[in-house]
Amino acid sequence: MEQALFPLLDSVLTDLLEGKEREGEALKTMILQRCSQMREVVSTVREHLPEILQA
């Protein structure tokens, strides 16, 4: 019975690791997109900072 379980366990763990790797890549992409959006917002705020400070 153990001999039948080890290959199955190995397969399950491999699938789990592959899924986590895909998840990590998706999170990386999302975080990089958010960082880019934040840079754009900061740039816009910097452009308008003199007006903001005078208000």
Q: Give the Cα separation of 32 and 44 in Å (integer).
A: 19
Q: Which residue has better confidence, 4 or 23?
A: 23
Confidence of residue 55 (pLDDT cuts 50, 70, 90): confident
Which two structure tokens, joined as six digits, stand for 47? 């452009």
pLDDT tens track for 8-26: 999 999 999 999 999 999 9
Task: Give residue 45's pLDDT.
Answer: 96
Domain boundaries, the chain: 25-55
Tell me what the mean pLDDT of segment 20-34 comes to: 98
Per-residue pLDDT for 2 more than 80? no
